[in-house]
Amino acid sequence: MAISSIGTTTFLADTVILIRIEIQNNITDPVSSTRPSSEKFVVTAYPQRGVTYPIITVVDKGLTDYRKGGMASTVSYHTLGIEIRVWARNVKERDELAQAIYNRFRTRQVTFSGTEKMHDYKVTGMTNVDEPGTAVKSKIFTVQFLEILGE
């Protein structure tokens, strides 16, 4: 899915879906054989009901920068933050999944810069979260893209 071909009115949702599809298609679900068919490994919202771990959430963190392409231009530049959060059953699983995602995105920078018009990919943080009172471990992985919208 190319961001430039979808349109400027849906670029936030399109970017989240693009990231979700990239992870879904290229990161192996360690419990795919036992995961209920009604549940997904990669989702675009925080879970509101019980889930089978591990899961990965992809959430839009909003725009941090906006610039016009010129005085009479319809082009605009947007820096968009995306939060990828790995929720796992233990620290080893959490770290392995986060590393796989990091490696996938690190090696896809050139393609993201081409087809999808998402430039200046960068990791802006990776934070371990210890959920109190639960065995669930998570890692928040934040990335940014500069998206050029318009023609």
Tokens of 77: 């530049």
Closest by CA to 80, choosing from 58, 108, 98, 101, is 58
DSSP three-state, residue 120 = strand
> Distances in Å between the alpha carbon of 71 and those of 14, 117, 148?
27, 22, 16
Least confident of 11-15, 58-62, 127-131, 147-151: 147-151
Looking at the chain, the whole-number percentage of residues with pLDDT higher than 70 is 87
Question: Which of the pair, 86 or 62, is modelled with greater confidence?
Answer: 86
**Which tens digit of pLDDT belongs to each residue from 32-62?**
999 999 999 999 988 888 899 999 999 998 8
Q: What is the Cα–Cα distance from 8 to 58, expressed in whole angstroms?
A: 20
Q: How far apart, in whole angstroms, are the C-alpha atoms of residue 151 and residue 138? A: 40
Q: Which two tokens stand for residue 95?
A: 């770290």
Q: CB neighbours of 92 closer than 8 A, spacing ≥ 6?
A: none
pLDDT tens digit sequence for 119-141: 788 889 999 998 777 788 999 99
| Nearest residue to 126 via CA among 145, 140, 138 | 140
Select the CATH number that applies to the domain covering 3-149 from these four: 3.10.450, 2.60.40, 1.10.3470, 3.30.2000.
Answer: 3.30.2000
- Is 149 buried (19+), middle (13-18) or exposed (0-12) by CB count in 10 A? middle
Query: Could you tell me the pTM of the whole model?
Result: 0.84
